[in-house]
Amino acid sequence: MAFTAADVKTLREMTGVGMLDCKKALAETDGDMDKAVELLREKGLAAAQKKAGRIAAEGMAYAEVFSDGAALVEVNAETDFVAKNDQFIEFVKDVCYVVGKWGPVDMDTLMTLPYRKTGLTVQQMLQEKVLVIGENIKIRRFVRYDSGVSVAYNHMNGRIGVLLNMEVSAGLEQNEKVLELGKDLAMQIAAMNPAFLDKADVSQDTLDKEKEIQLAMMANDPKMAAKPDKVKEGIVMGKLGKYYEENCLMQQAFVKENKVSVEKHVAAVAKEVGGSIQIKGFYRFERGEGLEKKEENFAEEIAKQLGQA
């Protein structure tokens, strides 16, 4: 029995399994749709897709620097228990390696790339891990730097991953002081969670909104409301300076020496090593941030199973 592209699409919609696996299943079953569904279930692919409906908000953020590039990934699982599983941790690190080595431009590309030492693609290995581990697993996001000096920092067993990128003078790439600076700043990013690299990166819209908030706060404060507009404007400008210090990495107080800003500390280290150091950017992934977590009510779950709810 022959089959068409429309049949492949239908099978994909029925099972949620990838297009290529659907095509293979139809070829193996001579286009018999029911047998193809059965075959995919036997292979475990449909089961893997069924698990994909579950909320995966636990997991691990992980950063590492490789010879081909530096990468940061977040991979999610359903439970904290699985997130501590050695197989899961190995999978996260291997995905990070693939991103660092090949530099995929998007998630679809990443899924087609060769997984480390197996002959499988990342997509195929992901499906295998879902079946073996028994939980929905999702590669949520990734970033990569392929030039400059990158420093990776991983905090609290994958709760937070940070990747910092610097541009330094020739010969300073492996300088101990430069790498120490990178690690210190990556740790600061993990702890302080700056929204911007530098005050120059803050948009005018963001500043206008902050100014609006500060003026509204003064209008609601009996002690401030009667002050002249010029005085209020001066106070707001001072508040914006505080906003930079709290939200911009380069303007934050350096955590190890809070009497100087990060900007001044970077300049001091550059002077000490006799070259230039420019912080080009950073990424910070916190596991599960922005994801809705499934809240389980144990008593309700038992009642459902007993038919009482």
Total residue length of the chain: 309
Whether the predicted model's global pTM rises above the 0.85 cut: no
Confidence of residue 308 (pLDDT cuts 50, 70, 90): low
In this prediction, residue 40 has a pLDDT band, given cuts at 50, 70 and 90, of confident
Q: Residue 23 falls within a domain, yes or no?
A: yes
What confidence score (pLDDT) does residue 10 get?
A: 82
Structural domain contains residue 33: yes
pLDDT band per the 50, 70, 90 thresholds, residue 216: confident
For the ranges 148-157, 174-183, 284-293, which has the lowest average pLDDT?
Answer: 284-293
Model pLDDT, residue 34: 83
Residue 212 lies in a domain: no
- Stretch 150-156: mean pLDDT: 97
38: domain CATH number?
A: 1.10.8.10
Residue 135 binned pLDDT confidence (cut-offs 50, 70, 90): confident
Which of 111-125, 269-283, 286-300 comes out lowest in average pLDDT?
A: 286-300
**Is the pLDDT at 9 greater than 90, yes or no?**
no
- Enumerate the β-bridge partners of residue 72: 63, 143
Helices 204-219 + 229-247 axis angle, to 10: 130
pLDDT at 305 over 60: no
Q: Does residue 276 fall inside a structural domain? A: no
User: What is the model's pLDDT at position 53?
Assistant: 58
Domain extent for 39: 5-51
Mean pLDDT value across residues 48-63: 76
Position 1 scores a pLDDT of: 62
Give the pLDDT confidence score for residue 86 in this predicted structure. Answer: 94
Per-residue pLDDT reduced to its tens digit, 77-129 = 988 888 899 999 999 999 999 999 999 999 999 999 999 989 999 999 999 99
Tell me if 13 is assigned to some domain: yes
138 lies in some domain: no
Query: Number of folded domains in the chain?
Result: 1
The reply to whether 225 falls in a domain is no
For residues 63 and 46, which has the higher predicted lDDT (pLDDT)? 63
> What pLDDT score does 90 carry?
97
Say whether pLDDT at 35 is over 80: yes
Record the tokens describing residue 292, joined without a space. 């809705």
pLDDT score recorded for residue 145: 98
268/61 Cα distance (integer angstroms): 32
227-258 pLDDT, tens per residue? 888 888 899 888 889 999 999 999 999 999 88
What number is the average pLDDT over the span 19-25?
88
